[in-house]
Amino acid sequence: MEWWALLMGSAAVLCWLWFRREKIMAERLQRSGIPRGSTGWPFIGETLDFIACGWSTTPVSFMDKRKAQYGKVFKSHILGTPIIVSTDSEINKVILQNHGNSFVPAYPKTIRELLGENSILQMNGNLQKRIHALIGGFLRSPQFKSQIVKDVEYSAKLTMACWIEKAGSILFQEEIKKMTFEILVKVLMSVGPGKELEILRRDFEEFIKGLICLPIKLPGTRLYKSLKAKERLLKVVERIVEERNFLIEKSDGNGSIKDILDLLLRDMDEPNERRHISSNLICGNIIEMMIPGEETVPTAMTLAVKFLSDSPQVLKQLKEENMELRRQKTNSKEEYSWMDYMSLPFTQNVISETLRLANIINAVWRKTMKDVEIKGYLIPQGWCVLASFTSVHMDEENYENPYDFNPWRWEKIGPVVNNSNFTPFGGGQRLCPGLELSRLEISVFLHHLITTYSWTAEKDDIIYFPTVKMKRKLPVRFTPVTAT
């Protein structure tokens, strides 16, 4: 027999054996309940397709393709990890609720390295629950609410007045970050505008650049620079903590709680324990709490401006509602309250629709601590699980014409709480404690923007990878308007 015929024959046999093995494996998996799917190429898995879809205008196409092939829950291999992806809202709900502590956060290596093991974003069990409850309780307290309304109003008005002074367009995405960072640092540790805030801003920006990078920790690498920036940040925060500890001791622990730093320091009863926790846990956590708050709120505001610029009908109704509130306040000469901003129905629908379409946190990553069975699927112990929020938010089964910016849809859907098809702030045990604060910041910002200024935004596109942002940082030109 010719050598080539032998080669072809062997290749055909090998192919047949490979396909048969795949078929048997798939059948076995199906019987065991482990979701079907492909782990792609050796080492890289399906990462290239995942990233390519992320760069496109339809990032959800990665999920959609596999959903059509294997169903709403499938197996894949992305960013170096074999993973089970859920695009099913009921399964996502079970993952988020995390009864019996079956799921723990599982971030990629660089994020884990930068966060540190004591970060609230990574910790589990009672300490996470305690810190979560403390922060949530403080951010919902009436004292905090009445103070923060004034702070956000002040920052918003000042920031917009500065934009008018600058001739020409501003890069909205960059400029709005300055305002939201100032508010965040105030909520965390009451640092006001000045040199200290600028140092924190500079080092924090350097720190978060390393969250998505190669996991190589050598001088000159991105990860190394970010870790150095975190060391500098820690020094500043440690000094602030020391000063605050001194003040608390001087006042014998009396006095009202003005920020999250105060809250965490006062929660520690034993003076010795307080000292231990201040250096090891509180400082790190104050920095790490900046991560979920820093990018998210300004991104939501940027996309709200983008969607409104492209939707004149929405803008018109939003303006009418906000002008009415402004007229009431001018006539009554009363100050605005938290409820004034949060109970504007159309404005809240605009915010919900922005959050749905923007998908700022597109998914959460978890790892199973034991075998978990949900809706007939088996997720074996030790596997990573990605609960995809974007897929649920962009699913035609859940939202009619999901790619349209349509705030009116929320009039039919109703309240956004307890809705497992709408999870921009996550849910269950780790539901974002900054949820109401974020909605308030966006409401105050939109109210003063819409009632005081008009604007024109230059054409720009949204990119979704590695995080959601505008390609050209959204250049916008603002002009003051006179109230009618």
Query: Whole-number minimum distance, CB 361 to ligand HEM, in Å?
Result: 4
What angle is formed at CA 295 by the lines to CA 301 and CA 203, rounded to 5 degrees?
135
- Of 76 and 362, which has the nearer Cβ to ligand HEM? 362
**Interatomic CA distance for residues 398 and 388, integer angstroms:** 14
Q: Give me 245's structure tokens.
A: 């500890």
448-467: contacts with ligand HEM (CB under 6 A): none
**Selected binder of ligand HEM within 282, 364, 379, 394 (CB under 6 A):** 364
**Interatomic CA distance for residues 404 and 313, integer angstroms:** 13
Q: What is the chain's Cα-based Rg? A: 25
**Interatomic CA distance for residues 14 and 8, integer angstroms:** 10
Residue 465 in contact with residue 51, Cβ under 8 Å?
yes
Size of the residue set binding ligand HEM (CB under 6 A):
24
Q: Is 361 in the site for ligand HEM (CB under 6 A)?
A: yes
**Selected binder of ligand HEM within 35, 45, 59, 105 (CB under 6 A):** 105
**Interatomic CA distance for residues 464 and 459, integer angstroms:** 17
- The per-residue b/e assignment along 195-224, b for 16 or more CB within 10 angstroms, e otherwise, is eebeebbebbebbbebbebeeeeeeeebbe
**Interatomic CA distance for residues 245 and 267, integer angstroms:** 12
Q: Is 51 in the site for ligand HEM (CB under 6 A)?
A: no
- Of 132 and 228, which has the nearer Cβ to ligand HEM? 132
Strands laid side by side in the 475-480 sheet? 170-171, 475-480, 453-457
384 is in an annotated binding site: no
- Of 181 and 399, which has the nearer Cβ to ligand HEM? 181
**Interatomic CA distance for residues 384 and 395, integer angstroms:** 23
Angle of helix 312-332 relative to helix 296-309, nearest 10 degrees?
110
- Of 45 and 105, which has the nearer Cβ to ligand HEM? 105
**Selected binder of ligand HEM within 152, 289, 304, 392 (CB under 6 A):** 289
- Which part of the chain contacts ligand HEM (CB under 6 A), choosing from 12-20, 45-53, 152-160, 286-294? 286-294
- Of 144 and 455, which has the nearer Cβ to ligand HEM? 144
**Interatomic CA distance for residues 287 and 163, integer angstroms:** 29
Q: Give me 4's structure tokens.
A: 């080539």
- Which part of the chain contacts ligand HEM (CB under 6 A), choosing from 143-151, 158-166, 290-298, 333-341? 290-298
Query: Whole-number minimum distance, CB 70 to ligand HEM, in Å?
Result: 25
300-329: contacts with ligand HEM (CB under 6 A): 300
Q: Is 199 in the site for ligand HEM (CB under 6 A)?
A: no
Interaction pattern, residues 386-425, with ligand HEM; x per rule: CB under 6 A: --------------------------------------xx
**Selected binder of ligand HEM within 281, 434, 462, 470 (CB under 6 A):** 434
How many of the other CB atoms lie within 10 Å of CB of 405?
20
* Binding-site sequence positions: 432
- Interacting residues with ligand HEM (CB under 6 A): 105, 120-121, 128, 132, 187, 289, 292-293, 296-297, 300, 360-361, 364, 424-426, 430, 432-434, 437-438
* Binding-site sequence positions for heme: 432
